[in-house]
Structure 1
């Protein structure tokens, strides 16, 4: 007998799910770049790792953020262009690189290497400019180097470095965590810096470029900070050209819980912490609406995911990739779908080897993690119209709040309704009934897949067992137009109705 019900309101459209909501993030720390995406300095080979690139290509990444993170606000882009043997070796002020824990940056992987990766895998680049220790000219020069098709020294330098045509980079972040590692600024101080940078960077698309730039400001989980920042930016005499397209926040969860040592109660607390994402999105959207009422400013969550105690500076921020982490990613992706009217991009941290990465490598191999499988399962949502869902499900008290044990979201495109459902209960299975408003599908129209049906929440991926995490067929029955599926504990399901 069903104990959870989901109603899919196909006429109640929220907004289009921007493909960029499935975005990713790669920073120069640990083995994310060197050893993960790019062969390490000590390897016999140099260049992109083809095994990693192949996995990323298969996932169809819509956007990739680089070079940080905290690294971005101590990074000077001109160090990383030109002949590699002539590039200076610089400090890495915030992170150690590789297993030797060296706080140095070789600059072997720079702007052209990153943009070549983006071209290889068909993803949009999102560059984070240095506000903390840089200046507006440096940021504007970077835009010119990447995007200008004229006859200037910087455009010619790009051509000499092997790329005749402009890269056409659209997304430009002006700073990162400027309330913290990016300068420990007050919101008013950062707003004034942001205005300076936006004046110069934002002017390039009026004269130098044939496409518009999307300017991205750094926000904070402390939402009073966001209100004060927006008020200071809004107080300038901008006229019609308001220099702010998106405002960001970062949300990590699980910092006190090692999955292999946790119990079911702690699993619940972890998942509830992940779902706090919804609160933060709503608070940021409310601040934007209150202060910039006539502006179309999107919410970007450009760092998010699990961050467990094992992930330290000494470990290169590496941690096991578990079923529970994949389950949390599914729950958060459902939140993003439900807020597609305000969420314009997200970037999970990080792409390879670091934190809740999607791909893990050793010296010889690269393999997909459980979170990779979740992104793959959710991929059909990209570009669809999200629609409202009503969920009635059991809950469990986590101390601070109740965890709804069944979550889900739905989207529609011509000829298809796509529904994702997570069983966040790591103890019991639940039978879920799904009703599609205004539709009575038959069995020929319906197919289902499920992840993690045979795996415990604390099971971690390895090179040897990675293929065991692929989705399997989900049995979906239909009675009088109502779909019914049994979801084992800690599973993620997707149902397609055509």
Structure 2
């Protein structure tokens, strides 16, 4: 077999990989918040202010650089005042969109609100990202939420925050102006949403919203119509897109059951993420500039047919999903000049989560392992990387069998690469630079099938193992098992 070749051009810099690209998403949906993140102060599990300490430990070790809340579709039916003040006085409301766990059905207790969320962010050292209610709310409600969180002078809402236990401002930088407002967030057409965005963002900025995120679409025409109507791009810092892959119709199989064709189709679907970033960037550059407006992929990940509202969008987290996530992270690195933030959906127990829990423990998923392996990219400078490899045809487009990206940082060059082949080991040559001082590697999933998934009992089996790295004619050479992901640390001479 002819080796695959990865060429890392360290002299061709793209941009810094923003830490916010390694962000996550927590919605009031299933067991993400209730049971996964927050269990209350009377729970037998160890907690800090009702927040699970085992989940916090996992997320802190991983690095959650920013966390988006409270949704999702839930955001445009959520009124923030329901979730502040004494918990025993907070109203119980219907959850218009999602089941809250398997017993509480479509009911929201509001036990977890703004103060609890900000406390969680403090515990895991994440930047909070709040999504304001545009669909059923108004600018007054949104600007008051900003004031409650961010004002430090002597205003009524700043005093109310202090009475609720937070005398110092929360300093929330990132504010989403609605969510999926073309759908569950109000069924707006792009022109109407542009008018609403302009109105909301104007008043939110007056009260201290530093960076605002507009709801975009994977449809380029929708984005162009929105941007054309907006007329005031200075109000816009980020345009969001959402992309789930896995096909709810079952064309990619389920999380753990799929044939060869379905196996590769999931990877083809995952390639849409990068393509739609490019599409959104083209729309922005028509009416503003991607130098000023970043793209926030603030929901992304695998969504399989078995994850339904009735079961709290739970699905097994398999090796195939994790390898697909690695390719998406490579695509983000390739577009570090375009992607300003991203949020894997969702943090705990829901969809392609990084942590799963039961009533006694929290454990990492295979996708957690990938995010951890990719952590050296955070804050480093992405550089141009090309891959020469075989491709597999699907009914969408061809899927390269090897994916890769690279960054340069203080510790040298870091290269991530994955083998998407279902059943073949791939020998990969990595051409980095002439002055290699040394290299080491780690590999994930070397002894796993693509359908393997994490449980409380087997989670440790998905940890990274050492990878042999040899040198041949100045290139690094590694043998990648099928369905595996690797990271190479390359030192300068």
Q: Distance in 1 between matches of 2:487 and 2:44?
A: 43
Please state if 1:357 is matched with 2:353. Answer: yes
- What corresponds to 1:463 in structure 2? 456
Q: Distance in 1 between matches of 2:199 and 2:322?
A: 40
- What corresponds to 1:202 in structure 2? 205
Please state if 1:4 is matched with 2:20. Answer: no
Please state if 1:26 is matched with 2:26. Answer: yes
- What corresponds to 2:386 in structure 1? 390
1:134 aligned residue (128, 132, 137): 137
1:441 aligned residue (436, 439, 444): 436
2:112 aligned residue (99, 109, 124): 109
- What corresponds to 1:312 in structure 2? 308
Q: Distance in 2 between matches of 1:421 and 1:227?
A: 34
5 Å-filtered alignment, 1:85-104, equals 85-104=88-107
5 Å-filtered alignment, 1:354-433, equals 354-433=350-429
Which region of structure 1 is more displaced relative to structure 2, 447-456 or 269-278? 269-278
Q: Distance in 2 between matches of 1:83 and 1:314?
A: 30
Asked whether the equivalents of residues 268 and 396 of structure 2 are also in contact (C-alpha less than 8 Å), the reply is no
Q: CA deviation at 1:323?
A: 0.4
Asked whether the equivalents of residues 181 and 193 of structure 2 are also in contact (C-alpha less than 8 Å), the reply is yes
Asked whether the equivalents of residues 34 and 41 of structure 1 are also in contact (C-alpha less than 8 Å), the reply is no
Structure 1 stretches (4+) deviating beyond 4 angstroms?
Answer: 40-46
Asked whether the equivalents of residues 99 and 311 of structure 2 are also in contact (C-alpha less than 8 Å), the reply is no
Please state if 1:120 is matched with 2:123. Answer: yes
CA RMSD of aligned residues (A): 1.4
Q: CA deviation at 1:460?
A: 1.2
Consecutive unaligned residues in structure 2, runs of 5 or more: none
Q: CA deviation at 1:40?
A: 6.3
Q: Distance in 1 between matches of 2:257 and 2:61?
A: 33
Please state if 1:495 is matched with 2:488. Answer: yes
Asked whether the equivalents of residues 77 and 135 of structure 2 are also in contact (C-alpha less than 8 Å), the reply is yes
Which region of structure 1 is more displaced relative to structure 2, 243-252 or 39-48? 39-48
5 Å-filtered alignment, 1:276-291, equals 276-291=272-287
Q: Distance in 1 between matches of 2:357 and 2:61?
A: 16
- What corresponds to 2:68 in structure 1? 65
- What corresponds to 1:208 in structure 2? none
Q: Distance in 2 between matches of 1:247 and 1:124?
A: 18
Q: Distance in 2 between matches of 1:106 and 1:58?
A: 30
- What corresponds to 1:209 in structure 2? none
1:223 aligned residue (220, 223, 244): 220
SS at match of 1:314: helix
Asked whether the equivalents of residues 55 and 362 of structure 2 are also in contact (C-alpha less than 8 Å), the reply is yes
5 Å-filtered alignment, 1:166-315, equals 166-205=169-208, 213-234=210-231, 238=232, 242-255=234-247, 256=250, 257-293=253-289, 296-315=292-311
Q: Distance in 2 between matches of 1:320 and 1:72?
A: 26
Asked whether the equivalents of residues 440 and 482 of structure 1 are also in contact (C-alpha less than 8 Å), the reply is no
- TM-score, normalising length from structure 1? 0.95
Which region of structure 1 is more displaced relative to structure 2, 223-232 or 285-294? 285-294
Deviation string, structure 1 residues 345-374 (Cα, Å, up to 9, x no partner)? 000000000000000001111100000000
Deviation string, structure 1 residues 127-181 (Cα, Å, up to 9, x no partner)? 0000000000101000100010111110001001111110100000000000000
Q: CA deviation at 1:42?
A: 9.3
Please state if 1:478 is matched with 2:471. Answer: yes
Q: CA deviation at 1:264?
A: 1.9
Q: CA deviation at 1:96?
A: 1.0
Q: Distance in 2 between matches of 1:462 and 1:249?
A: 31
Flag the 1:391–1:142 CA change in 2: closer, same or farther, 3 A: same
1:165 aligned residue (156, 165, 168): 168
Consecutive unaligned residues in structure 1, runs of 5 or more: 206-211
- TM-score, normalising length from structure 2? 0.96
Deviation string, structure 1 residues 96-135 (Cα, Å, up to 9, x no partner)? 1111152111000000000001011111000000000000
Q: CA deviation at 1:480?
A: 2.5
Q: Distance in 2 between matches of 1:42 and 1:349?
A: 28
SS at match of 2:71: coil
Asked whether the equivalents of residues 101 and 316 of structure 1 are also in contact (C-alpha less than 8 Å), the reply is no
How many residues of Structure 1 are paired with residues of Structure 2 in the alignment?
484
Asked whether the equivalents of residues 264 and 427 of structure 1 are also in contact (C-alpha less than 8 Å), the reply is no
Flag the 1:454–1:313 CA change in 2: closer, same or farther, 3 A: same
SS at match of 1:30: coil
